Amino acid sequence: MGEKKSDTKEKILESALKLFSKKGFRETTIKDIAKDVGITEGAIYRHFTSKDEIIQELLMSITKEVREVITEALSSSDKEEEILENIINSLIDYAFSKPESFRFLNLYHLLKDSPKVTNLPGELILKFLNNLKAKGKLKTYPEIALAMITGSIERIFIFKERKFIRYKTSEIKRELTHALKKALL
């Protein structure tokens, strides 16, 4: 019985992620999620107390995934330039391999005032960028560099999703990495 309950909870989270990433938080109702999963609204409340609790669980889960991706990129080399490349490439790979999760993050931006979400992924990148700035290797403020990296990846994701750009992912990674490295280092 426990496995079935867990499966239903996972289905609720998957459905909520899909719906939130397409319709937005306000527009998605518990009723929408229940209908998509094929259960009653009451069944959702056996797993979650509210829509906010579903959002918090998704935020914590996705934040953990992205932190793991960034942590791996940060430990991938001893050369700072390669680490920066790996951060950019890893974030692009994450965006294109998990579009609903990335779209969800893009919509909600994981604001620091979210009480249950700590150790945000951007903090890892910012620490790396602060280190580059301290060594005199970063051309701008670390926060601006972080905005350039994340903002560029978000915009590329949206452009590719809307077929405004049609380049292969490998070309996008190469060109964006080159442009950001040139601008930042």
Could you report the per-residue pLDDT of 81-99, keeping only the tens digit for each? Answer: 999 999 999 999 999 999 9
Residue pLDDT, tens place only, 23-67: 888 899 999 999 999 999 999 999 999 999 999 899 889 999 999
Q: Over pLDDT 70: what percentage of the chain?
A: 91
pTM over the 0.95 mark: no
Q: Outline which parts of the chain fall under CATH 1.10.357.10.
A: 55-184
Q: What is the mean pLDDT of residues 99-114?
A: 71
Give me the phi and psi of 80, to 5 degrees please.
-60, -40
55-184 CATH pick, 3.30.43.10, 1.10.357.10, 3.40.50.300, 3.40.50.970: 1.10.357.10
Q: Outline which parts of the chain fall under CATH 1.10.10.60.
A: 1-48
* 115 contact partners, CB below 8 Å, separation of at least 6: none
> Taking the domain 1-48, which CATH number applies?
1.10.10.60
Q: Is residue 1 pLDDT above 60, yes or no?
A: no
Q: What is the DSSP string of 80-139?
A: HHHHHHHHHHHHHHHHHHSHHHHHHHHHHTT-TT-TT--S-HHHHHHHHHHHHHHTT--S
